Copies of this chain bind each other. A is one copy, B any other.
Amino acid sequence: MLEDAVGLAAVTVLAVLEQAYFSLQVIYARRKYSVSPPATTGPPEFERVFRAQANCSEYFPVFITVLWTAGVFFSQGLSSVCGLLYLYGRLCYFRGYSQSAQGRLAPLYFSAKILWVLVGFSSLGVFLSFCRVYLNVDLLQEVCFALDLV
């Protein structure tokens, strides 16, 4: 079953590659602005790159979690598409934040919205599975039946 989740796994690998790209940017910024570890403060140019990566890292596990919950319990196709949009939003966020604190805002709101959509899919999927497993009611089918779609 899990092996069929190719779409989710592909988005997951892309997400890891994106994180690797962000980490490399921090290493380059450390060299460029001469900020040696363990220091994490320095010129604003460095601190913006550092914070951009830290913020993306912080949201990485939340993203992977809702991607898979929404994908397994609701729809793999929709989750994968949302996942790609989220990764694109994060790339824009990283580039925007590297240039100015203001530049991070629009893509941040965009990727937050995508995350909320995935949270919505997850909640709906878990609720429908709960009805199916514990109440033995297939709500999705009931709704289609009521709407005379089947």
Binding site for B on A (CB under 8 A): 1-4, 6, 9-10, 12-13, 15-17, 19-20, 36-38, 40, 44, 47-48, 50-51, 54, 57-58, 60-62, 64-66, 69, 72-73, 97, 101, 104, 119, 122-123, 125-126, 129-130, 133-134
B residues near A119, Cβ cutoff 8 Å: 13, 16-17, 20
Q: Per DSSP, are chain A's interface residues mostly helix, strand or loop, or mixed?
A: helix
**A65 and B62 within 8 A (CB):** no
Whole-angstrom distance between the alpha carbons of A59 and B52 in the complex?
Answer: 16
Whole-angstrom distance between the alpha carbons of A101 and B39 in the complex?
Answer: 10
Tally of this chain's copies? 3
**A3 and B37 within 8 A (CB):** no
